[in-house]
């Protein structure tokens, strides 16, 4: 929340705050472009390695615009999005308790890059009711330091805000972790009792457009260990 400023400091303070947030935004956008570059690189590596294989398993990168990117592999899709606004961690967040933030509170202002996992068939068959899951989000501050919140492989190794700096190598590690987690995050059948009754409208819709809601953990907790996304 912006501090209340005396009248003679109102305009200069406003400009300082806005200028600082623009710098955070620029750093985050640069980081997102680096994510796109590494995704392009990984897709080309995969293509070169398996171009002569008879069994075609997709690993394809698609640029969806300035703030969105998509990676399709196997039966999964990872969608990467960058939020256009700048956020500050809440006072209760563990990051706010670190010496890195205590030394300079402006370091807690970050842009956000989010990673979502969907089933590839959800898009292929236009199943608009299907579910996706956020598996991680990357916070980037004005010093190009980053902090990752996520599930298992995605979030466990990248939560040292003070020492973690966005580089091509660190982005590659984050992406590899997201792909590894997605490959291990398998589709489970929903409970029988949740599916045993269906309306005429639902079955007609299913037969016509395959719109029955599907998700990797439909009817279950997000993970077997019952951890919530931090």
Phi/psi region, residue 226 (left: phi>0; alpha: psi -120 to 50; beta: rest), is: left
In a domain, 193, yes or no: no
pTM of the model as a whole: 0.81
* pLDDT tens for each residue of 2-34: 565 566 788 898 999 999 999 999 999 999 999
**Residue 161 CB neighbour total at 10 angstroms:** 22
When divided into structural domains, the chain yields a total of: 1
* pLDDT tens for each residue of 69-96: 999 999 999 999 999 999 999 999 988 9
Distance CA 7, CA 26 (A): 29
In a domain, 105, yes or no: yes
In a domain, 40, yes or no: yes
In a domain, 64, yes or no: yes
Q: Say how far residue 9 (Cα) sits from the centre of its chain.
A: 38
In a domain, 176, yes or no: yes
Distance CA 108, CA 110 (A): 6
State the average pLDDT over residues 39-43: 98
Q: In the prediction, which pLDDT does 186 show?
A: 73
In a domain, 221, yes or no: no
In a domain, 73, yes or no: yes
* Domain carrying residue 82: 7-187
Phi/psi of residue 159, nearest 5 degrees: -120, 20
């Amino acid at each position: 929340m912006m501090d209340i400023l005396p009248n003679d400091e109102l305009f200069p303070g406003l400009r300082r705050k806005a200028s600082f947030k623009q710098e955070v935004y620029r750093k985050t956008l640069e980081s997102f472009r680096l994510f796109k570059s590494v995704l392009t690189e990984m897709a080309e590596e995969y293509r070169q390695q398996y171009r002569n294989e008879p069994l075609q398993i997709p690993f394809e990168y698609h640029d969806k615009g300035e703030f969105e990117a998509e990676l399709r592999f196997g039966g999964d899709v990872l969608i990467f999005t960058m939020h256009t606004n700048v956020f500050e961690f809440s006072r209760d967040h563990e990051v706010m308790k670190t010496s890195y933030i205590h030394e300079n509170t402006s370091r807690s202002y970050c842009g956000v890059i989010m990673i979502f996992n969907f089933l590839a068939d959800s898009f292929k068959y236009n199943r608009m009711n299907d579910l996706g899951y956020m598996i991680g989000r990357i916070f980037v501050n004005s010093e190009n330091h980053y902090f990752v919140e996520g599930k298992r492989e995605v979030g466990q190794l990248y939560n040292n805000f003070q020492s973690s700096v966005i580089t091509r190598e660190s982005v590659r590690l984050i992406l590899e972790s997201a792909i590894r987690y997605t490959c291990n995050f398998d589709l489970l059948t929903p409970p029988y009792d949740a599916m045993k009754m269906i309306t005429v409208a639902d079955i007609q819709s299913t037969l016509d457009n395959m719109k029955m809601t599907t998700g990797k953990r439909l009817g279950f907790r997000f993970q077997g260990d019952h951890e919530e996304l931090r």
